[in-house]
Chain A
Amino acid sequence: MRFRRRPTRLRRRIRRRDYECLRGAYGKRCTLALAPPGRFAWLLSVMENGVGGMTNQNDPQVVGVAPRLELQDITKIYPAVVANDGVNLQVLPGEIHAVLGENGAGKSTLMKIIYGVTKADRGTVSWNGQEVEIANPAQARRLGIGMVFQHFSLFETLTVVQNIALAVEEPFDLDGLARRIVEVSERYGLPLDPRRLVHSLSVGERQRVEIVRCLLQDPKLLIMDEPTSVLTPQAVRKLFETLNRLSSEGCSILYISHKLEEIRELCHKATVMRGGKVTGEADPRQETASSLARMMIGRELPVCQHAPAPEGGEPRLVIAGLSRTSDDPFGTDLKDIRLTVHGGEIVGIAGISGNGQQELLAALSGEQPLDPHQTYEIHVNGESVGNLDPAARRSLGLGFVPEERLGRGAVPAMSLADNALLTAHRAGMVKLGLVAGAQVRAFADRCIETFDVRCGGHEAVAKSLSGGNLQKFIVGRELLQSPSVMIAAQPTWGVDVGAATTIRQALIDLRNRGVAVLVISEELEELFEICDRIAVIAEGRLSPTKVTAETNQEEIGLWMSGMFPGVEDEPLPDRQELIDAH
């Protein structure tokens, strides 16, 4: 109903404006930017271009180009923390503007204020030189602001096209919209099936939905929160082309990322934040990665210490020909996956999201137990665990860091102490069926301290933490239970430099203690930084593993499209032997 009524009102409004413009009465009161993009975008853009100059001439205060967005003295205070403290920021039309900062520096809060998700306690927001109050995201979208969130804002039970339709304000029919989605997504190298349900998509695919949703709205300012974390190198190239094209068309981009090289390559300007304040502005093209990192964290960029893997660890995690038909009609079937991870090595699995990673992880963690006859297809420390549930597998020494932090790795509405109890309850936290509160709090405190989790103590609610800090907590929680096999999915997704280094170093330290570590990640740089061997998953098949030093990103990138040699026979323990052993 809303969709139908809107254009009439809009049309009326445009006529009135048109009339006012002709009378020369079009002054400061009226802003064209109010109009939603869409059916009338062409008309509005004609009017904007035609009248925009006039406005500037009439208004002596605006000389030259008004900034697309200007923030002055933005302050936001949460009960536990000052998220933004007098932040000033100016984004010019067509500028790609980086916002850099560690976890908890206040970047996400600032973006939420711009997008109308939260309201600043103090300060002003100006849009094209006019002070505005952005009350909600719908209004931000009408102004022409699009945002791709780090934590996605999609309805899981709806399809891609339905999700996008929710943000579209002009009338549409779903089929037409679906065609536009396919068209836009293909143009920008972000392939999407509009009919798929969002809950069946991987993180990388969900991000595509968010990006495409914004692009469909023809935004004037696009906010991107860690956009490249889950893209292949090739897709990042395409995204950058897209962003550069948008920029040359006059669309401003606020680009939040921790990948300093990307910022140096892409962005025209960078604002650096630390502890809620702006600590510097720079032209990233003139800076080096390490000078940017210094501005951001106030010290040198930490580097992971990585000695060669010790030889001859015993097989700890064995996947012996795992085949599984996905329960999800849109999922990927696993086909004869064979892999052995030895104690004291890190094996990485690369691949574009949606190629069977979720299915493999669910089978390994036990969240999706195998059929009874498949028991012998997964072994942890020599025990066949195929039909055990996650709790039983943890008791055998399996640690698991899932891809989603909120809602899977942690309960959003519970405190960190309660979240410690989620998987660490084996460590003496439950006595006679009752929870030993003191032990739980001590464990949480130890985790917070050891892994430098920035939060308001163990009573802080999980959802109040930034993504990176929550991830440090989850990784810490799994590590402190001394697993002998560790599986980590996207361990540093959306995590800033400092926290990512902490997490990677923690995984390497774990390996050095003789633990078998399996990392499934879509970030190739990360895998090349920490892994001893690398394999690729594509369309549910796993490639042979390669020693990291003997391969390169190009070769692995090629394998990611499914072109790898047949699996060589890994020295697997004989199936019958395994059966006899039990």
Chain B
Amino acid sequence: MRIRIEPRAQPSRLMGWLSPLLAVVLTLVTGFLFSAFLGMNPVDAFHAFFVAPVDDLYGLGELGVKAAPLALIAVGLAIGFRSNVWNIGAEGQLTFGALVGGGVALWAYEMEGAWILPAMILAGALGGMAWASIPAFLRTRFNTNEILVSLMLNYVALLCLSYLVHGPWRDPEGFNFPESRLFSESAMLPVILEDTRLHAGALLALVAVGLGWVFVKKSFIGYQMQVAGLADTAARYAGFNRKRMIWMGLLIGGAAAGIAGLCEVAGPIGQLLPSVSPGYGYAAIIVAFVGRLHPVGILLASLLMSLLYLGGESAQMELGLPSAVTGVFQGVLLFYLLAADLFINFRIRGATPQGLRSPSKPAEASS
């Protein structure tokens, strides 16, 4: 018996929407088995992972704190992904956005004014865009692969930030720790929910989701980018400018990631550190796909991914599991999502060696 994978004639649309949920359920089941295998009570583990982090207001606030940058970045990335622009460099764009926006905050140190925050957000967006423009330029000018370029630039951005906080931007009163000064009050995002750390960045993320929806579903340029993603030849036939779309895809993703980075340093962190993100730029790629590249789906997926982050921390504290457990769960989730998608678009069937089944045997018997 040989196993074969063949495409389905009509993939189910319903299952296309259900597959993220299916992947979540399977991830939970795996978590259950996983904890049982480690000799823990699966119910306790489940509680520690998924309930304990969000059973009070502060926990819910934390959920928003982590979901906001993920949603923001994923919405931006999804716009590029829809037109086959594969920006894997959101982490670097986030870092560079944080660096430029944070630079404005440090420059405006001891200044006051309502203009500082908007200026920082703008600087963060420009920083992310500047970093994203490198792969865009190289792709449109020299036809380089934007996946590789944007990915490698992540490390460059991290090293730039590291140099600055170890050197020129190090806090003169910081006992030689590699940290910048703490941002002044006017350079911090206001908290929008009492007794939590939930800051105005969450509102920015919601605005981004709304704008993303309009862009994807209603705008002509969004339509053009979708055409380019689905059928490049048709886009060329229609005269849509491919280069402009590559630039748009990368710049929008870069701007979103840059703002997300700025919101991190101007929100929960409050200063520049050698590392400003626990891998949001990478996790957002998963979020974008779990959310089906649709802004509303991305919003839900970002909450889920945020819960995984919190659960991972909680599991470290309460169950003594290593911090890698967050990464494990992210990986398992993506694995199940891709597997579910495979089964939606393809079916597995065992072909008998003769290749001919007797007609009395139902066709589904071996599929």
Instruction: List chain A positions with a Cβ less than 8 A from chain B.
Output: 9, 13, 31, 34, 117-119, 124, 131-133, 135-136, 138-139, 142-143, 365-367, 389-394, 400, 402, 404, 407-414, 418, 421-423, 425, 430, 433-435
Contacts and interface: CB of A to CB of B under 8 A. Distances in A.
Nearest to A133: B359
Contact of A139 (B234, B236, B356): B356
B309 to A, nearest CB: 35
Nearest to B234: A411
Interface string B215-233: 0001111010011001101
Most chain B C-beta atoms within 10 Å of own C-beta, residue among A9, A135, A389, A392: A135
Contact of A409 (B9, B237, B363): B237
7 contacts: A131-B359, A367-B236, A407-B234, A408-B234, A411-B234, A423-B238, A433-B221
Nearest to A367: B236
Most chain B C-beta atoms within 10 Å of own C-beta, residue among A13, A407, A411: A411
Interface of B: 6, 9, 214, 218-221, 223, 226-227, 230-231, 233-234, 236-241, 349, 351, 353-357, 359, 363
Most chain B C-beta atoms within 10 Å of own C-beta, residue among A131, A138, A409, A422: A422
Contacts of B351: 135
Contact of B223 (A31, A390, A400, A435): A435
Nearest to B4: A136
Contacts of A133: 356-357, 359, 363
Given A136-B6, A390-B238, A435-B223, A9 B233 contact: no
A34 B354 contact: yes
Contact of A132 (B237, B239, B359): B359
Contacts of A414: 226-227, 230
| Interface SS majority for chain B | mixed
A365 B237 contact: yes
A418 B216 CA distance: 13
B10 to A, nearest CB: 8
A138 B353 CA distance: 12
A410 B234 contact: yes
Nearest to B228: A411
A34 B220 contact: no
B234 A434 contact: no
A434 B237 contact: no
B219 A435 contact: yes
| Interface SS majority for chain A | mixed
Nearest to B236: A367
Contact of A367 (B6, B223, B237, B357): B237
B231 A34 contact: no
B233 A366 contact: no
Given A391-B239, A414-B227, A422 B234 contact: yes
Contacts of B237: 365, 367, 390, 400, 402, 408-409, 422-423
Given A412-B231, A430-B220, 4 more contacts: A9-B353, A132-B356, A409-B237, A434-B220
A461 to B, nearest CB: 11
A370 to B, nearest CB: 15
Most chain A C-beta atoms within 10 Å of own C-beta, residue among B238, B240, B363: B238
B356 to A, nearest CB: 5
Contacts of A124: 359
B227 A135 contact: no
Nearest to A464: B10
A206 to B, nearest CB: 15
Nearest to A413: B230
A421 B357 contact: no
Most chain B C-beta atoms within 10 Å of own C-beta, residue among A9, A408, A409: A408
Nearest to B221: A433
Nearest to A422: B238
A422 B236 CA distance: 10
B8 to A, nearest CB: 11
Contacts of B239: 366, 389-394, 423
Given A435-B218, A435-B220, A411 B356 contact: no
Contacts of B234: 407-411, 422
A391 B240 contact: yes
Nearest to A423: B238
